[in-house]
Chain A
Amino acid sequence: ETGVTQSPTHLIKTRGQQVTLRCSSQSGHNTVSWYQQALGQGPQFIFQYYREEENGRGNFPPRFSGLQFPNYSSELNVNALELDDSALYLCASSASGSYNSPLHFGNGTRLTVT
């Protein structure tokens, strides 16, 4: 069973640039969620994708957007990067609708905005 994989592991960007983070879901999972974890904080929910559509969004501006592909992998795109976007971005997958399938997380992408 392949777990959740994220790429890249680390990334450094300049303020104002755009970034794309990638996530491959665990085999058999159809839902992908993205979380932002600032230093010393708990993860904050960004949004969730189910059947290639955004289905639930946290308190994040529209410059945070995403995609889910037919193979259930996903991308997180952030436009017009700000210094406060520096954080660990976690992807999680699950088999939606089943409580017995809790979220499985990847190792995250560490984004630094300078």
Chain B
Amino acid sequence: AQTVTQSQPEMSVQEAETVTLSCTYDTSESDYYLFWYKQPPSRQMILVIRQEAYKQQNATENRFSVNFQKAAKSFSLKISDSQLGDAAMYFCAYRSGYANFGNEKLTFGTGTRLTIIP
């Protein structure tokens, strides 16, 4: 079974600064996908960024980028130019690349609460 570990329950960053959230995972599969989701107080899980394991290039979405280290099974999220609206719970998630059609479960970590200091 796959596991996802987020070792930082809480993080804080000054507005406009850069912060990195850590995530490690354990799997014996070679084909998989990794995701970062954001959950603000509204409770809706919002996809921030995703990475295919077969791609060596790290994914980037505007101010959000990842550092994907496949051998180390590490998948960290870097948020640049932090904004007040970035304050939320951030969850790292894993999805098997071998999932059957219609069976595409996500395995989540326990989350990191990010606070932005004005």
Say how far A64's CB is from chain B's closest CB, in angstroms: 14
Q: Is A55 in contact with B44, judged by CB distance below 8 angstroms?
A: no
Task: Let me know if A31 is at the binding interface, CB within 8 A.
Answer: yes
Question: A73 on the interface (CB 8 Å rule)?
Answer: no
Bound-state Cα–Cα, A103 to B100, Å? 15
**Interface of B (DSSP majority class):** loop
Contact in complex: B105, A45 (CB < 8 Å): yes
Decide yes or no whether A18 CB sits under 8 A from chain B: no
A90 to B110, CA, bound (A): 15
On chain B, which size bracket covers the interface?
A: 20 to 34
Contact A31–B44 (Cβ < 8 Å): no
Residues of A58-114 at the interface with B, using a CB-CB cut-off of 8 Å, are 58, 88, 90, 92, 94, 96-97, 99, 102-108, 110
- Given known pairs A92-B45, A105-B44, A108-B43, the reply for A56 and B105 (CB within 8 Å) is yes
Task: Check B68 for interface membership: any CB of A closer than 8 A.
Answer: no
Across the interface, do B101 and A97 meet the contact criterion of CB distance under 8 Å? yes
* A58 with B104: CB separation less than 8 A: no
Interface string of B50-65 (1 = CB under 8 A from A): 1010000000000000
Which of B4, B35, B44 is close to A108, meaning CB atoms less than 8 Å apart? B44
Beta-carbon contact of A48 and B106 below 8 Å: no
| CB within 8 Å of A: which B21-53 residues | 33, 35, 37, 42-47, 50, 52
Cα(A51)–Cα(B100), bound, Å? 13
A91 → B minimal CB distance (Å): 10
Rounded to whole Å, the gap between the CB of A40 and the closest CB of chain B is: 8
